[in-house]
Amino acid sequence: MTTDLDARIRMARDIERGASVLSSRVVEAFLNVPRHPFVPAFYRSEGAVHRPWRSGDEGWLRAVYADEALVTEVDGVHAEDAPAGGVGGAATSSSTAPGLMAEMLDALDVRPGDRVLEIGTGTGYNAALLCHLAGAGNVTTVDRTGRLVDAARERLAGAGFAAAVVRAGDGAVGCPGGAPYDRIIATCSVRRIPPAWLDQCVTGGLIVAPIGNALGGGAVACLTKLPDGGAAGRFLHRP
């Protein structure tokens, strides 16, 4: 029988093999932080209907540790609250595919002690990886609704990361209370980098964010904050 630890080790090794270069700190974070406590339920799509798939259901653990995005909220209805028959609508929150998370975390180059802001808490899994890399007391994460952040806060605490700050609010304004940050990562797409992120990032700090207009879509920008208050960088190479 495959245990969650076996599945996690296999996923971390698959991520390592799939990426061109990945820092050992990022791989080690995926080996140490389990994904399953953060996704007790998510949706699978059958045509236009999204049906909840819950912990204990056939194939659930395999899906959790596949390199796939897991949709956890559809039009504001969390998979944990969904009727068995499912719901219709568009995805409004998900756990990003681990391979993409790994590449974004690698680009973010988080060191122990770095103050990190994440925009788009979602399930809290990426925040947990950030806590492992930077130290939980250095991580602030923001999402739109109380439903999402309350669940993520509870799961982060369960994983030993109670010191992380988890806030509801519009990530476009960053989180001024915890500023300045050495690293800022967005897991939702933005059309342009909000001025508040530049204001709240230290000079020489890094900002990693998908530039696009859909949930998780677009090309991922990796920018360095410049002394003149702007930022410059590159897009990550991904198909």
Ligand X SMILES: C[S@@+](CC[C@H](N)C(=O)[O-])C[C@H]1O[C@@H](n2cnc3c(N)ncnc32)[C@H](O)[C@@H]1O
Q: Which residues bind ligand X (CB under 6 A)?
A: 93-96, 119-120, 122-123, 125-126, 142-144, 148, 170-172, 187-188, 215-216
Q: Would you say 86 or 121 has its CB closer to ligand X?
A: 121
Choice between 171 and 205, CB closer to ligand X? 171
Name every residue whose Cβ is closer than 8 Å to that of residue 187 and which is 6 or more positions away in sequence. 96, 101, 104, 118, 119, 120, 122, 126, 210, 216
Q: Which is nearer to ligand X, 92 or 224 (CB)?
A: 92
Other residues' Cβ atoms within 10 Å of the Cβ of residue 188: 22
- From the list 20, 23, 93, 94, the catalytic residue is 94
- Residue 52 host element (H or E): strand 49-54
CA gap 4, 192 in Å, rounded: 38
Residue 93 known to be catalytic: no
Q: How far is the CB of 162 from ligand X (least distance, A)?
A: 17
CB 105 within 8 Å of CB 26: yes
Q: Which residues are catalytic?
A: 94
